[in-house]
Amino acid sequence: MAGGLPSGVVDQPFDAQFLKGPVWRLIDPQAAAAAVTAAKVFGVQLIVARLDPVQDLSPFGFRRVETLVTYEGALDPQTAELEGVRRGEPSDAGACADIAVQVFTHDRWHADPQIPNAAADAFKRAWVENDVRGRADTVLIAEGAGGGVDGFVLALERERTAIVDLIAVSPRAQGRGVGRRLLRALAAECGQRRRFGRAGTQETNLAAARLYESAGWRVADRQIGWHWTPEG
């Protein structure tokens, strides 16, 4: 280690700014015990891990906080572009972040009682703003009445896949098919370049699961999210 990170973890500087201390991601479950020992020395506020369901980190003081379900489906390149959905602009970042704070309640940060909701909200707000301002490869906006934002989908394009980083619909627009319209728009936008769509959602997020299943996407993977915090 020699003053650096212990083996088996990687630093998460983006996450750390919301918890006032280091955050690590455990990438080698065999290093869990050593990582916890080092975390107490370094003042680490959170260690996160996502692992196959057969792996158990509870003996090392980790808590199971979520089950992440990954959906995959084909993107039809013939999907017609839809009215009411446009490409996003950096100026949309604030409106999208406002929606995110209202609707993202199933994620692993909000699911962990050891993480203050204010920190979880700030984390999601910054994540959305970064995506809209350039981190995401595809930003699509569902426009509401008067040009407001009813919802958004933010995607990362990797090899043959468009990965849904975040998708959300404003509470005022829910139940109107906006999420389905955004997924169809994603196919229209990315289908010529990417063959598949992929999205992860928490098992408790039944609305998101129904959305992906309605688009014909199917479960491709399940992983368990684990957190270690100094408070236990």
Digit-coded pLDDT (tens) for 152-176 = 999 999 999 999 999 999 999 999 9
pLDDT (mean) for 182-211: 95
Strands (E), the chain: 9-11, 23-26, 46-51, 63-74, 85-87, 138-143, 149-158, 161-169, 196-202, 218-228
Tell whether 26 and 43 lie within a shared domain.
Answer: yes
Same domain, 86 and 196: yes
- 80 and 37 in a single domain? The answer is no
Contact 98, 169 (CB under 8 A): no
- Same domain? For 77 and 50 the reply is no
**Tell me, what DSSP letter sits at residue 17?**
T
Q: Are residues 52 and 115 in the same domain?
A: no
Point out the domain boundary residue: 67, 82, 99. Answer: 67
**What is residue 145's predicted lDDT score, i.e. its pLDDT?**
80
Is 232 a member of any domain? Answer: no
* Residue 183: inside a domain: yes
Tens of pLDDT, residues 51-61? 999 999 999 99
The residue segments making up the domain with residue 132 are: 71-221
Same domain, 87 and 180: yes
DSSP letters of 25-69?
Answer: EE--GGGHHHHHHHHHHHT--EEEEEE-TT---GGGT-EEEEEEE
Looking at residues 116-127, what average pLDDT do you find?
96
